[in-house]
Amino acid sequence: MSTKVTSIGLKGLEGYRVQVEVQVKTGLESIVIVGLPDASVKESKERVSAALHSMGFPLLDIKVTINLSPAEQKKNGPLFDLAIAIGILKAGNFLQSSVPEDAGFIGALSLDGTILPVEGMIAAILAAKRLKIKQLYLPFDPNLPRIEIPDLELVYIQSIQDVIAALNGQQFLPFLPPVNQTDESITIERDFNQIIGHAFAKRALEIAASGGHYVLMDGPPGCGKSLLAETFPSILPPLSKEEQLEKVSLYQLAGVPSNSLTLPPYRHPHHSASAVSIIGGGTSPKPGEVSLAHHGVLFLDELGEFSKKTLDMLRQPLENEKVTISRVHSTVTYPAKFIFIAAMNPCPCGYLGSSKQYCTCTEKQIKSYKGRVSGPILDRIDILLTLEPVKLKGNDFTGIESSADIRARVIAARERQYARYGRDICNGKVSFEQLIRTSPLTNTQQQRLQQLSMKYGLSNRVQIKLIRLARTISDLKGEGTISNGSLEEAMRLRKMESQLHQIMGGSPQVRISEST
C-alpha cells in the first residue's frame, strides 16, 4: 500500500511543494529514500524509525520505500522528517484517518518522537501560502515571531501523537510557550538631533530614505561619515508584517540572530570581509550581507579598501535587488533590496585637499585607491556627497531636528509614491517607464538635462537617476509634478561625480565642499 503526504522543500528562500510518496510492503526490514536526498535527508530513516518505535509503532518485517517528488530537485535538511513519519503510519495502516491533500507537514524528529524546529520554517510557511496549502503542521519555535496568515491554518504540534490526534479529529490545545522578543527601544541608539551641522548631508539622507536611493560619502577622517550612516536607519519607516517575516526568514537561513522585528536591518561588514560573506555562497549557499540587509541598509565604510572583485560583485544586487548563487548541485536566489550607503576617504592617507593636514600620497597611490571603485559602481549610486569637518564654534546646539520628525516626512513621501504607483515601491526602484509616464518632464527640463549630460558626459543611467531624485524631492515637497527646483536640487546632489572621475584620472587637487 502507498500513500502521499505533502511537505515543503526550500531552494534558498524559495519554497516548493514536495510530495512524500511512501510504499510499505512485506519483506526484510529496511527504509530506502530516493529523490535526490542529501546526507541529512538520508539520515531521516534512522530518526523516523527510532521515533516511531518509541511511540509504539515498530517497523517489523516491512520494507519501506520513500520517494521525494519532484525527483529531479535536490532535497536537503531534516524538514521532511514529520511528513515521512506520517506517510509510513498511513501506508502501514497504523493511522486510520485520511491525510488531507491540502495539509502540509514540516519538522525534524528526535528519537523519542518529539518534533523539533528546523532552519527555514518561516520560508516554508510563506511558501505554503503561495502553494495554497490550507493547513500546515509544524513545531513551535519561541525564537520566531507569532505568525498569522489569512487562509493558512498553522497547527503547532509537539509530538507525533499530537498529529495523530489532530488528524483523527480529536480536540487538543497545543502548549505554546511565550515568544522571546527583544525590547525595540534599546536598539535605537542614535538620533539625528545628536549630529551637529551637516545640514546638506542630512537633507541628502532624508531624500535617500524617501526614495530608496544609494549614497556615497567622501571626506577626510573624522568628518562624520560613519556617524551619519549609523544614524540613517533611525529615519526609515518600520517594517511591515510581511517584511518582518522575510527578514527573520533570511536571518534564520543564515544562522544569524535577529534582535529586532520592526526596525530595518543595518549591516556593516568590515572591508576585510570576503566576497562570499558579503554576496553569499558556500557549499550549501547561505545568504550574505547583501541579503541580510534586505529591506534595510548596507553600509560599506572605507569603500576604497574593499577588493575590486568584491565591489564589482555588488553590481547585480544593486541593479536587480536580488543575488543569484550558482553551484554544481544547485542555484539559489536570495532577495537583496536595500539602501546602499558607502563612505570613503579622498586618498589612502585621508587628507587629500585638506587645509589642516598635508597629503602624503603619490598620484599613483591616489589613482590606484580610487580605481577600486569602478565606473559601473559609481553609475549605480544616486547621491554623491563630499563632507568637511564641522567646526563646533559658531554652531547652534539647540533646535536640531530629531529622527522622528524626519521619519514622519519620509513616511509621508513614501505614501505618495505608493499611491501613485499602486503598490509599495519607491522612486529609486520603480521602472523608468512607469516613472516617466506618471511624472513626465517638461520640454525645458528635458533641455536642461541634455545640457548637463553633454557638459559632464553623464551616462543614460545617471540621467535617469537624476529624474528619480527630482521625483523624490518633489514628493517630499508634496508636489504633484517634478518642479524645476527639484530637478536643480537633484543636480546638486550629483555635482561631485565629475570631480570623482577627474581624481581617478589623475587630477588630485580638485575638491568640492558641502556648501556648493
91/212 same-domain check: no
Gap between the Cα atoms of 211 and 411, Å rounded:
10
For residue 172, is it within any domain? no
Residue 350's SS3 state is: coil
236/378 same-domain check: yes
Domain end position, chosen among 102, 134, 167:
167
pLDDT at 59: 86
For residue 175, is it within any domain? no
- Check whether the bond before 70 is cis (ω within 30° of 0): yes
Q: With 80 as the cut, is the pLDDT of residue 398 above it?
A: no
Model confidence at 292, pLDDT cuts 50, 70, 90, reads very high
238/369 same-domain check: yes
For residue 510, is it within any domain? no
pLDDT at 354: 77
The separation between CA 147 and the C-alpha centre of its own chain, rounded to angstroms, equals 19
Q: With 80 as the cut, is the pLDDT of residue 331 above it?
A: yes
213/119 same-domain check: no
Q: With 70 as the cut, is the pLDDT of residue 498 above it?
A: no
Residue 380's SS3 state is: coil
**In the structure grid, which three cell numbers stand for residue 23, read together?**
510504499
* CA distances (Å), origin 480, targets 79, 377, 464: 51, 31, 19
* CA distances (Å), origin 343, targets 152, 161, 205, 279, 474: 45, 57, 13, 19, 26
Q: What is the CATH number of the domain that holds 117?
A: 3.30.230.10
For residue 242, is it within any domain? yes
93/225 same-domain check: no
Q: With 50 as the cut, is the pLDDT of residue 493 above it?
A: yes
Whose cell is 509537539? That residue is 158
Percent of the chain with pLDDT over 70: 91
pLDDT at 76: 87
Higher-confidence residue: 399 or 200? 200
Query: CB 199: neighbour CB atoms within 10 A?
Result: 13
Model confidence at 395, pLDDT cuts 50, 70, 90, reads low
What are 37's strand-pairing partners? 75
| Contacts (Cβ under 8 Å, ≥6 apart) of 33 | 41, 42, 44, 45, 66, 68, 84
What DSSP assignment string belongs to 197-233?
Answer: S-HHHHHHHHHHHHHT--EEEE--TTSSHHHHHHHGG
Domain count for the chain? 2
364/283 same-domain check: yes
Model confidence at 454, pLDDT cuts 50, 70, 90, reads confident
Minimum mean pLDDT among 134-148, 392-406, 427-441: which range?
A: 392-406
pLDDT at 496: 40
Q: With 90 as the cut, is the pLDDT of residue 226 above it?
A: yes
Domain assignment of residue 128, given as a range: 2-167
Q: What is the CATH number of the domain that holds 302?
A: 3.40.50.300
Q: Is 453 exposed, middle or buried (0-12, 13-18, 19+ CB in 10 A)?
A: middle
Q: With 60 as the cut, is the pLDDT of residue 504 above it?
A: no
Among candidates 239, 267, 240, 294, which has minimal Cα distance to 13? 294
Percent of the chain with pLDDT over 90: 54
52/199 same-domain check: no
Question: What average pLDDT does this structure show over 466-471?
Answer: 96
Whose cell is 528546523? That residue is 118
158/191 same-domain check: no
Gap between the Cα atoms of 61 and 66, Å rounded:
16
Q: What is the 3-state secondary structure (H, E, C) of 165-190?
A: HHHCCCCCCCCCCCCCCCCHHHHCCC
Gap between the Cα atoms of 18 and 211, Å rounded:
40
Gap between the Cα atoms of 481 and 470, Å rounded:
10
256/143 same-domain check: no
pLDDT at 330: 73
pLDDT at 453: 84
pLDDT at 357: 84
Domain end position, chosen among 101, 135, 167:
167
For residue 328, is it within any domain? yes
pLDDT at 472: 97
261/369 same-domain check: yes
Minimum mean pLDDT among 221-225, 441-445, 481-485, 502-506: which range?
A: 502-506
pLDDT at 473: 97
Question: What average pLDDT does this structure show over 331-358?
Answer: 89
Model confidence at 179, pLDDT cuts 50, 70, 90, reads low
For residue 200, is it within any domain? yes
Domain end position, chosen among 167, 201, 224:
167
**Do residues 342 and 217 lie in contact, with contact meaning Cβ atoms separated by under 8 Å?**
yes
**Do residues 167 and 85 lie in contact, with contact meaning Cβ atoms separated by under 8 Å?**
no
* CA distances (Å), origin 78, targets 82, 198, 308, 312, 359: 9, 52, 39, 36, 58
Higher-confidence residue: 500 or 254? 254
Q: Is 397 exposed, middle or buried (0-12, 13-18, 19+ CB in 10 A)?
A: exposed
Among candidates 235, 226, 365, 244, which has minimal Cα distance to 303? 226
pLDDT digits (tens, 9 = 90+) for 31-77: 999 999 988 899 999 999 999 999 888 888 889 999 999 998 889 88
Greatest Cα-to-Cα distance within the chain, rounded to the nearest angstrom: 90
As a whole number of Å, the CA-based R_g of the chain is: 28
| Contacts (Cβ under 8 Å, ≥6 apart) of 27 | 61, 62, 63
Q: With 90 as the cut, is the pLDDT of residue 148 above it?
A: no
**Do residues 466 and 505 lie in contact, with contact meaning Cβ atoms separated by under 8 Å?**
no
* CA distances (Å), origin 202, targets 226, 233, 335, 418, 487: 13, 12, 28, 24, 18
227/373 same-domain check: yes
For residue 477, is it within any domain? yes
20/125 same-domain check: yes
For residue 178, is it within any domain? no
